């Protein structure tokens, strides 16, 4: 079944998404919590000199900058202008040369078969219509080119955090798919199985440590756009705010050891364009 897209409604939705990711300080989240994932993705996708690479939903450049430092010709694209600006500044500090573009993952402004590798590190999973962004990734990857993705799993901590926040958040747009499904093997196979071969999927974890459950909650309330947006949605209801506080604290406590250390699960995907 083909979904009919209303251009005006789609533009308004994307404007809201871009504004959400500009809330707080996502570059701080990426820098302090998941800085190593980008280099891991670049290595898994075998990116190096001579490769033309697209990072979709690149954020502040966690994967795009390591790809450029590995010698690739990199385009870093993201829906949120503030993240593009932050990534450009980070690349300059790192001495990396990249082409930065404000772009929608569901309507990439690039030609077909333009890239040797297309990657996304916990980025494209947040585009609301998964089939559209997957089709765009397939379109711009050349035959024989590589795909590399890192996505949070539904069963892992971040996937569970979104499940906890869902009752307190605004309703998603009609037809949207939950972001953590990009971390489920069957879903990825459905999205890319007809256009990519050699689909390899491996669940891994990254360790994070906070000063107790409230330390996690306070950090995300201050810095992570989706969490900030959820609190704003219930901000005029003190009881719901308190209930959300308690739910996030309980989730963090469940996933933490005595030292406040957590293991966050993600799915690493690599494949070759048919």
How is the beta sheet containing 99-102 ordered, strand by strand? 99-102, 73-78, 52-55, 115-121, 141-152, 261-273, 196-209
Does residue 244 lie in a domain region? Answer: no
How many CA atoms, within 13 angstroms, populate the side-chain half-sphere of residue 63? Answer: 33
Q: Which CATH number goes with the domain that contains 131?
A: 3.40.50.150
Residue 216 forms part of a structural domain:
no
Per-residue pLDDT of the chain (274 residues; tens, 9 = 90+): 445 678 999 999 999 999 999 999 999 999 999 999 999 999 999 999 999 999 999 999 999 999 999 999 999 999 999 999 999 999 999 999 999 999 999 999 999 999 999 999 999 999 999 999 999 999 999 999 999 999 999 999 999 999 999 999 999 999 999 999 999 999 999 999 999 999 999 999 999 999 999 999 999 999 999 999 999 999 999 999 999 999 999 999 999 999 999 999 999 999 999 9
Is 174 inside any structural domain? Answer: yes
Furthest-apart CA atoms within the chain: distance in Å: 56
pTM greater than the 0.85 cutoff? yes
239 domain residue, yes or no: no
Q: Is position 1 within any domain?
A: no
Residue of 101, 92, 94 whose CA lies nearest to 74 = 101
Give the structural domain span for 57. 8-207+263-273
Report yes or no on 163 lying in a domain.
Answer: yes
Q: How many domains does the chain have?
A: 1
């Amino acid at each position: 079944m083909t979904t009919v897209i209303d251009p005006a409604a789609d533009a308004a939705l994307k404007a809201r998404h871009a504004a959400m990711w500009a809330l707080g300080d996502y570059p701080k989240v990426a820098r302090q919590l998941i800085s190593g994932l980008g280099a891991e993705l670049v290595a898994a996708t075998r990116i190096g000199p001579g490769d033309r690479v697209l990072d979709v939903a690149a954020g502040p450049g966690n994967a795009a900058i390591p790809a450029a430092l590995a010698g690739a010709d990199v385009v870093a694209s993201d829906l949120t202008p503030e993240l593009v600006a932050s990534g450009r500044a980070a690349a300059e500090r790192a001495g990396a040369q990249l082409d930065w573009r404000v772009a929608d993952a569901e309507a990439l402004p690039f030609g077909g078969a333009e890239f040797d590798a297309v990657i996304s590190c916990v980025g494209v999973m947040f585009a609301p219509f998964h089939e559209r962004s997957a089709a765009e990734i397939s379109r711009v990857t050349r035959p024989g080119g590589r795909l590399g993705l890192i996505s949070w799993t539904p069963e892992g901590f971040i996937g569970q955090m979104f499940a906890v926040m869902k009752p307190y958040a605004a309703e998603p747009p009609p037809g949207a798919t939950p972001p953590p499904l990009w971390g489920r093997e069957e879903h990825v196979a459905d999205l890319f199985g007809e256009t990519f071969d050699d689909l390899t999927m491996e669940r891994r974890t990254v360790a994070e440590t906070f000063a107790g459950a409230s330390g996690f909650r306070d950090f995300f309330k201050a810095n992570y756009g989706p969490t900030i947006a959820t609190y704003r949605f219930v901000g005029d209801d003190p009881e719901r705010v308190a209930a959300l506080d308690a739910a996030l604290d309980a989730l963090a406590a469940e996933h933490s050891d005595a030292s406040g250390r957590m293991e966050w699960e993600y799915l690493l995907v690599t494949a070759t364009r048919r």
